[in-house]
Every structure is written in C-alpha cells, then in structure tokens.
Structure 1
Amino acid sequence: MTEAEKQPVHWLIVFAVVLTAVLEVLDTTIVNVALPHIKAAFGITSDQTVWIVTSYIVASIAVMPLTGLLSRKFGRRRLIITAIVGFAFFSALGGMAQNFEMLVFFRLGQGFFGAFLIPLSQAILFTSFPREKRGQAMAIFGLGVIVAPVLGPTIGAILTEHFSWRAVFYVNMPIAFIALLMVSGELKKEETQHVDIDWVGLLLMVTAIGALQMTLDLGESHDWFDSHLIQVTAIISAVTGFIFFVRGMGRKLNIIDFSLLKDRSFAAGNVAIVGFGVSMFGAIAILPLFVQGLLDYPVLESGQLFIPRGIAAGFSMVVTGSFLVNRFDPRMLLAIGLILTGTGNVMLANLNLDVSFWQLAWPGVISGLGMGLFFVPMSTLAFQNISSEKQDEASGIYSVMRSLGSSVGIAIIGWQLARRTNLHYAILTEQITPFNPAVSQYLAPLGLSPDTGMGAKVLANEVMAQASMLAFQDAFILSGLAAFAMLPMVLLIQKPAKSEVGSPATVH
C-alpha cells in the first residue's frame, strides 16, 4: 500500500473532482435538447446541427488518451485547473456565439479541455481513497459520470423552456467556479517529469480517433459507405490506427502504453465498457425521438422521463458502492447489472403508440438499477492491477473506450432505426390496397375511403407511424442485446483479493 492510500479521505477533493466530472459528461447530453432551438436561431439545417454535437465529441476523444502524458509533464493539479478554466471559458463563449461557425469552434474548445476532466477525476479519486474503499469512490464518481448524462436532457429541457438555449452553456459557469476553488485550495502540487513527446505517434492517434468519430457521427446522415466522405474517413481511421498500433507495440515511449492491455481485467473492462455504452447511450439517444416524434410529448415532459432512471441509477450506485461490493463477488454484481440494463431496454420494445408516461419510465428504472450494479464494480475491477503511477494513463484509455462506446451506440442504433423504418414501411404498404377490407373498416369511422386524397394521406401517416413504432422496438431490442453480449467479458475478469474491494470488517 502506498503512502497516498494510507492517508484519510479528503472529502473536499472528492466533491471537487466529482463536480469537474459532471462538467464534462453533462455537456454530452444537455445540448441535445436545445438543438432545435439553436437550429431555428441560426437558420441551419439538420445536418449542420450534427456538427454542434460532433465537434465536441471529436475534440474530446482525440485528446483524452494524452491525459497520462500531460499529467506527468505538467502535474495533475496544473492540468486539471487548466482544463476547468479552459472548459468554462469556451462554455461562456458558446453561450455568446453569434453564428453557427463560432459555436462549432467554441464546442471544439470545450471538448479539448473537457477531455481531461473525467480521467483526471477518476485517477484523483483512486488515490484519495484507501484500496478497501474504492467501491465507495466509484459510487461517488458514478453519480457524476452516469447520472449526469441521464439527467442532462431534463436539465437542458428546463433551461431551454424557461430561459434560452444559451443557458445550457452558461450553466457550466457556477459549477466550474466552485470546482476551481476547491481544487485550487485542496489539491497539492506534484513534481513534474521530463517527457519526450512522440509527435508522429500523437498525429497518428489523433487522426485515427478523429476520423473514426467523424465516420460514426456523420455516417447515418450521409448513407454510410455510399458516401465518398464516409469511405475516406473510414479508410483514414483504419490505416492510421493500424500504423499507430503496430508502431507503438515496439516503442518504449509510446503515446499510449499498450502494455496496460496485457492485464486481462483491464482489457476485458475496456471491451465491456464499450458494449455497455452501446446499450446505455443507444437507448437514451433514441428515447426522446420516440416520445417527441411519435407520442407528441412536449420537450419538458420528455426530459422529465429521465428523472426516474436517474434516481434509480443514483440509488443503485450508492447501495452498490457502500454495501454490495464489499459483501458479494463484484463480478456477480457486474453480470446482474448487465442483465438489468439489457432487460430494461428490451422492455421498451414491448410498448406501443398508446403507452403512458410510467409505462415508459419503469423500464428506465430497471436499466438505472443496472447502471449502478455495472459501473461501480467494473470501474474497480478494471483497475485492480494498475499501479498508482499508471492511473492517469489507464483512466485516459478507459474514458476513451467509454466515450467511443456511446458514439458507437448512437451510430448503430440510429442506423438500425432508419433502416428498419424503411423496411417495415415497405412491408406494411404491401397490405394497403383497396381490396383489403381492413383498410375500408379503418377509414369508415372517419367518413373516408382509400380512393380519396384525404383517405390516402391518413393511411400513409398511420403506416409511417406503425413502421416507426416497429423500428423503435427493433432498436430497443438491439440496445438490450448489446448489454447481454458483454456477459462473457465477466468471465475474463480476475476475482479481486479481499483487500481490493473490502470486507464487512473493513467498512467504516
């Protein structure tokens, strides 16, 4: 046990780093609700609004793996303070943006500085807690990392509805100010190290990750590989990624320490967090589209739909981190978390166009309970063999995989939704003929017939609604299967020693 791990927990530091984590993850979803208002304010197209989200994610994922390197070169304290100030600065500029181009640039700045907040916060938490209380650390961290993006649509809806879309950027300012005061006062300065930067490796890594993210974000709107742009970005990502990996395997001072992936628990954890991201964020991304587009929910009520899920996730994390993880095999909790998350998503596939608010909310509660049971033990198990010196770098890799999981999930589920809508529409329209008695029976109460213009319009709208409903059901099933598919990863993770997660005798 290191000297840092013997020290008592500094709760002000804990609260400060959780606030910094909230800054980053909240921005991944809070802006989404305001996109229609931003679109109207700047007179831009739907394709252009994608760049408001994409610019942030691309910048964030591209530089996140550099956390360990920059932490050694400048020190954790200096890096996290710079990241908080930079993030707050570009948030304020985002709220003041006068045109679309300015907003995209400021979102790039947000993503660049925000990239360091999650991995640094996680690494600081690990060294602030003794080893037997790391489950509690991850529960607290999870309240920010998982609950914040779940509640992001709710907060964004309230701010947009009662103030302006600009408020979703300004809300970061007080959070950043409080976090900055706490970090500046409590976090000790560290000795910096001389670090030789592999600029070629850096360029390869940033290009590979950035091109992959652009492929995922723009694929659906550009018909995927039917688009020359998507073909180019995919090829660039594959080629530069392959060169970076092969080149880095033989280099001692690579941008990313690939030797970390030799630890089976860390490697399996990174795979599992990708699948979990596909399941969790894929479902969260399409749920607002479902309730607003098909069920005509107002923005505020669609945001409130995430409150029960967020409460369940927060409750699950606290109970798991302070009680369950110390008394049961964390791998068993991990498996139950995956099963609950997948089950909640699959439950959404049993809904129809007449569904009520609570019929939509209860599956979210099930998934929310699964989030806590997955996230807390996974974050502990994945890092159980990682030394303190490698925590920053490992956290950077893990955070990249979590973010990529969310991006892959949104891309895959969105592609599935569009493809299955077209498929179901084609199948249903084959049944709509003047000779089908069900068609005339449906239109009769409306005083219409299938051979009139109004009758044809009503039928087309109903068929599209039903096709969309069936496609949403398919998409929710796919998001659930993504969670179930990660269950074999649990078998690859090592069972931790008793001191890793604590025992009833060591819990205070």
Structure 2
Amino acid sequence: MIQPGHINRVIVVAVVLSAILEVLDSTIVNVALPHIQAAFGATTDQATWILTSYIVSAVVVMPLTGFVARRIGRRRLILTAVTGFAAMSIMCGLSWSLETIVAFRLAQGMFGAFLIPLSQSILFDAFPREKRGQAMAVFGLGVVVAPVLGPTVGAILTEYFSWRMVFFVNLPVAAMALLLLAGELPDDKTEEVRIDWKGLALLAIGIGCLQFILDQGETKDWLSSRVIQVALIASVLGALGFIFHTLTSRHPVVDLRLFADRNFALCNMIIAGFAISLFGGIAILPTFVQNLLDYPVIESGHLFIPRGIAAGVSMVLTGSVLVTRFDPRLLTGLGMLLTAAGNFMLGSLNLNAGFWQLAWPGFVSGLGMGLVFVPMSILAFESISKTRQDEASGLFNVTRQLGSSVGISLVGTWVVRGLQTNTAVLSQNVTPYNPAARAYLAPLGLTPDSTQGAAVLGQEIARQAEMISYLTVFNNLGLLALATIPLLFFCRAPRADQRAAAPVH
C-alpha cells in the first residue's frame, strides 16, 4: 500500500522498464533491417513490412487502452502486455522466414501499444501530487533517451552478435518489469463495458489504412498506385464513419469529446508537429551519414550518444526543477526553438562534415526534447479528469506516433524528389565547356569530354544533388518546429499546483 507522501520507487522502475520495451523497440530494429533482409533474401519493399506491421498494429490498438483497462483492469492488462511483448520478441528472434517475422511483429505491436499509456496513467495516479514531477522526470528520462539510443544499441548488437539479438535484448528488461509489477502493483476494479465492435472496426480501417499509406506511399509513388488510392478512400471513409459513430453512440470505444478540451486539442497538434520534426530527423540521419558520408554502422550509431545524454539531462532538470518555476508554455517554446536550431545546424553542413559537426546538432535537439515532453504533458492534461487519463493518454500517444510516421514519410519523399530535381538542375550547368568542370578534373588528369571524366563528373553531381536534398530536408524540419510555436499562445497556463503533477507523454 502506498503511504501518503511516499513515492514507490519500485513502481517507478517497473513502469519505466515497461515503457522502455516499447520505445526502444521502435528504433532498435531499424539498424538491423538490412541484415534481416539479407538473411531472408527479401527485397527492400518486403523488408519494410517488418517495421510497418509493428507500427500499424500499435497505432490501431493504442486508442483502445482506456476501454480495455476499464474492462479487465490496469494490473492485468499491463502484465499481459509485457508478457505478450516478451513472447513475441522471442518468436521474432527465432523467425525462419519473412512471413513469420512480419506476423510476430504484428502481434508484438498489439501488445506494445498498451505499455506507454498504461505506464503513464499508473504513475499519474500512484503518487502524491507534490512529488509527481520527480517521478515523471525519471519516467521521461527512460522514454526520451531509449529511442534516441536505440540505433546505437542496435548497431552494436548487429555488428558484434546477430540481428536476432535486437529482439532477445528485450527479455531481461521484460523479466525485471514483470517481477516488479507483479509484486508491487495493486489490483484495481473492473467495469462491465460493452464492446463497440462497429466503432472498433471503423477505427482499425481508418487508422490502419492511414498508417499503411504513410509507410508505403513513397515506395509505391503515392497516388500513382492503385493500392494507395484504395487505401486512401478506405482511410477517409473509415475515419468519417468512426467520427460520426463515436459522436452519436452512447458507449463509444474511444471518446473523441476529449478534444473539446482546448489545451488537449492544441497540444495534440503541437506534439504531432514536434514528432514530425524530431523523429523525421532521427530517421534520416543514419542513412545520410552511412550512404553519403561513408560512415560505418557503428560510428553512425555513436552519433546519437550526445543527443541521448543531452535529452536525459534536460529531462531530469526540467521535470524536477524548471516546471515548478516557469510557465510550461515558455519551456515548450524554448524546446521547440532548440529542436529547430539542431535541424538548421544539420542543414548548414557540407560533404566534409566531421563527427562532432554531426553530433553537436543532435546535442542541441536533445536539450530541446527534454524541455518539451514534461511541460507539454502539463499543458495537455491540465483539465483532464482522473477517470479519463487512460483514454486521453492513448489518444495523445496515437497522435505522437502518427506524427513520427508522417515525419518519416515526408523526409523520404523530400529526399527522393529533391534528388531528381537537384540532379537535373546541376546537370544543366555542367558541360564540357564549363571552366569549373575542367578545373575540377585537371588535378586528376581528366577532361570533361573524356569518358572517364564524364563518369567522375556524373558521380560528383549525384553526390552534390543528394547532399542538397538532405540539407533541404533538415531545414524544412527546422521550419516546421518553428511553425508549431504560435499554437502555444492559445493554450491556457496551468495552475502553479499542477505543474509538478502532470504525466509525461
């Protein structure tokens, strides 16, 4: 039993470990994907389903957190989710074909979808108001740093052991979380809640098809593909049907009336923009340094260490000190500025960029991450009642996940389209009569009108065109982070006694 004024550190550790399972797995597999592709003889398009299947199932199931928690109880749900996640991790590591690993990743995403929303709401309710800020700072430390360091951990495990280890590494974390939760988390009441099958089906169609479009759109050339066209129609119809059904149903599976709260609605918009800017940059950085700057896998993973350290320090400082002294709108705005600055720093590099020129922007963005997450949660949940925490947390995390998916999809499209445009523009200006081209080839003993000289120029044009594309993407992400800041002015400032009491999302 939790004593008044006492923080149960065992539960803090347990729920942080539970959340780390999900957020770490969302990035650690990316680095190992080429090795998995080679092991199963899969094409690049086929291999992306290993990532897509997990994300689609997680996004579809996550909004149901509040409904399922009321029906079977938080304790039973989180224990089931951790156990199922661990079991599916084992099966992913033992997979014998592409089809089996995709199926197991689908199931893993369904179990993982509950972990972060449940962890947040358990902590939010378990601790005295005056000490919740400290507990949330520790929780945020794990949730923010884990996905940033995921590529580093994944690179080490893949390089020195096997791609299968990126799944098996979940087991000790899951085992510890289960032991602590089973011993410390008390039973809670359940409710006889009717299952809204119609709403559930419409939700799955709307969000599932949207996530499929975001994941496969660039590969299939967006609306040029009949599959994407059908998915778009299905997503729109599913979403509209779900909204209408939810607003007219007495017992909806997800209560969209939560968005009637001004702060909650605005903060969902802000977190979506922040996720696009942040996770879009994180997703594209390994490809940028490995493919264009010829960084080895291990060193590309090391680039994320300064970002992770900065995010951890910033998160602890913000959660334990800053949120009690400053307006969370000010802290969030500062975090957005730092996130934008990090992207702009990356957008000013050249092909000769060294390790620290690439790492410092991540450090700056990491400071911004820590400044955003705790204050954003304070703003978003300022007026959300205790009984609606699970449901609101699920919706908030769906928005964040969809934002990160949009970011990953956008940067992929921007790079490909930019590469085509930049190559065409640069090629027009490089001719055998161009003095700059002759000067570039002269030290190599070549001329632009020779076969070898033309080949060297073509390679350099491709490199420069790709570099310009990446720099444009980083600058666009920086501008997007800045564009979300004005929304903060429309948020209500929380009362001083609430600043240390909101959950981190």
TM over 0.5: yes
**Match of residue 342 from structure 2:** 344
Residues 120 and 381 from structure 1, CA distance in 2 versus in 1: closer, same or farther, beyond 3 angstroms? same
Q: Which residue identity does 2:214 align to in structure 1?
A: L
1:84-129 Cα distance to aligned partner (Å, 9 max, x none): 0000000000000011111101100110100000100010111123
Q: Could you tell me how far apart the structure 2 residues matched to 1:386 and 1:7 are?
A: 23
Note if contact 1:63-1:115 (Cα within 8 Å) is conserved in structure 2. yes
Q: Could you tell me how far apart the structure 1 residues matched to 2:440 and 2:127 are?
A: 65
Q: Could you tell me how far apart the structure 2 residues matched to 1:436 and 1:5 are?
A: 79
- 2:78 aligned to which of 69, 77, 80: 80
Q: Could you tell me how far apart the structure 2 residues matched to 1:387 and 1:131 are?
A: 14
The alpha-carbon deviation at position 138 of structure 1 amounts to 3.0
**Match of residue 305 from structure 2:** 307
Q: Could you tell me how far apart the structure 2 residues matched to 1:140 and 1:461 are?
A: 48
Q: Could you tell me how far apart the structure 2 residues matched to 1:4 and 1:69 are?
A: 26
The alpha-carbon deviation at position 230 of structure 1 amounts to 1.0
- 2:470 aligned to which of 468, 472, 475: 472
Q: Which residue identity does 2:32 align to in structure 1?
A: A
The alpha-carbon deviation at position 4 of structure 1 amounts to 8.2
**1:114-125 superposed matches below 5 A:** 114-125=112-123
Q: Could you tell me how far apart the structure 1 residues matched to 2:214 and 2:128 are?
A: 39
- 2:201 aligned to which of 200, 203, 211: 203
**1:104-503 superposed matches below 5 A:** 104-502=102-500
SS in 1 for 2:219: helix
SS in 2 for 1:146: helix
Q: Could you tell me how far apart the structure 2 residues matched to 1:320 and 1:5 are?
A: 26
Question: Greater shift after overlay, 165-174 or 122-131?
Answer: 122-131
**Match of residue 98 from structure 1:** 96
Q: Which residue identity does 1:204 align to in structure 2?
A: L
**Match of residue 506 from structure 1:** none
Q: Could you tell me how far apart the structure 1 residues matched to 2:328 and 2:450 are?
A: 63
1:10-62 Cα distance to aligned partner (Å, 9 max, x none): 11001100100000011111000001111111111111111010000000001
The alpha-carbon deviation at position 5 of structure 1 amounts to 10
Q: Could you tell me how far apart the structure 2 residues matched to 1:435 and 1:22 are?
A: 58
SS in 1 for 2:249: coil
Q: Could you tell me how far apart the structure 1 residues matched to 2:3 and 2:323 are?
A: 19
Residues 366 and 491 from structure 1, CA distance in 2 versus in 1: closer, same or farther, beyond 3 angstroms? same
- 1:47 aligned to which of 41, 45, 48: 45
The alpha-carbon deviation at position 336 of structure 1 amounts to 0.4
1:454-490 Cα distance to aligned partner (Å, 9 max, x none): 2121111110100010000110011111211111221
Give unmatched runs, 5+ long, in structure 2: none
The alpha-carbon deviation at position 492 of structure 1 amounts to 2.1
Question: Greater shift after overlay, 38-47 or 62-71?
Answer: 38-47
Q: Could you tell me how far apart the structure 1 residues matched to 2:169 and 2:186 are?
A: 28
Q: Could you tell me how far apart the structure 2 residues matched to 1:237 and 1:491 are?
A: 32
1:398-449 Cα distance to aligned partner (Å, 9 max, x none): 1101111100110111111111111111100001111111111111111112
Q: Could you tell me how far apart the structure 2 residues matched to 1:450 and 1:378 are?
A: 56
Q: Which residue identity does 2:200 align to in structure 1?
A: L
Residues 133 and 270 from structure 1, CA distance in 2 versus in 1: closer, same or farther, beyond 3 angstroms? farther
Q: Could you tell me how far apart the structure 2 residues matched to 1:323 and 1:149 are?
A: 24
Q: Could you tell me how far apart the structure 2 residues matched to 1:5 and 1:493 are?
A: 35
1:305-343 Cα distance to aligned partner (Å, 9 max, x none): 000000000000000000011111111101101111111
The alpha-carbon deviation at position 136 of structure 1 amounts to 2.7
**Match of residue 69 from structure 2:** 71
Note if contact 2:7-2:131 (Cα within 8 Å) is conserved in structure 1. no
Q: Could you tell me how far apart the structure 1 residues matched to 2:75 and 2:333 are?
A: 36
Residues 355 and 265 from structure 1, CA distance in 2 versus in 1: closer, same or farther, beyond 3 angstroms? same
Q: Percent identity?
A: 57
Q: Could you tell me how far apart the structure 2 residues matched to 1:489 and 1:106 are?
A: 40
Q: Could you tell me how far apart the structure 2 residues matched to 1:254 and 1:314 are?
A: 38
Note if contact 1:67-1:396 (Cα within 8 Å) is conserved in structure 2. yes
Q: Could you tell me how far apart the structure 2 residues matched to 1:5 and 1:332 are?
A: 34
Q: Could you tell me how far apart the structure 1 residues matched to 2:116 and 2:81 are?
A: 11
SS in 1 for 2:48: helix
Alignment size in residue pairs: 501
Give unmatched runs, 5+ long, in structure 1: 504-508
Q: Could you tell me how far apart the structure 1 residues matched to 2:135 and 2:414 are?
A: 37
Note if contact 1:65-1:397 (Cα within 8 Å) is conserved in structure 2. yes
Q: Could you tell me how far apart the structure 2 residues matched to 1:141 and 1:267 are?
A: 24
Q: Compute the TM-score of the two structures, normalised by the length of structure 2.
A: 0.97
Q: Could you tell me how far apart the structure 2 residues matched to 1:502 and 1:287 are?
A: 34
Question: Greater shift after overlay, 477-486 or 201-210?
Answer: 477-486
Q: Which residue identity does 2:401 align to in structure 1?
A: S
The alpha-carbon deviation at position 6 of structure 1 amounts to 4.9
Q: Which residue identity does 2:395 align to in structure 1?
A: I
1:27 and 2:25 are equivalent in the alignment? yes
Q: Which residue identity does 1:202 align to in structure 2?
A: L
The alpha-carbon deviation at position 451 of structure 1 amounts to 2.1
Q: Which residue identity does 1:77 align to in structure 2?
A: R
Q: Could you tell me how far apart the structure 2 residues matched to 1:455 and 1:121 are?
A: 60
The alpha-carbon deviation at position 130 of structure 1 amounts to 2.4
Q: Which residue identity does 1:494 align to in structure 2?
A: R
1:353-384 Cα distance to aligned partner (Å, 9 max, x none): 00010000111111000001011110122112
Note if contact 1:4-1:127 (Cα within 8 Å) is conserved in structure 2. no
Q: Compute the TM-score of the two structures, normalised by the length of structure 1.
A: 0.97
SS in 2 for 1:220: coil
Note if contact 1:138-1:380 (Cα within 8 Å) is conserved in structure 2. no
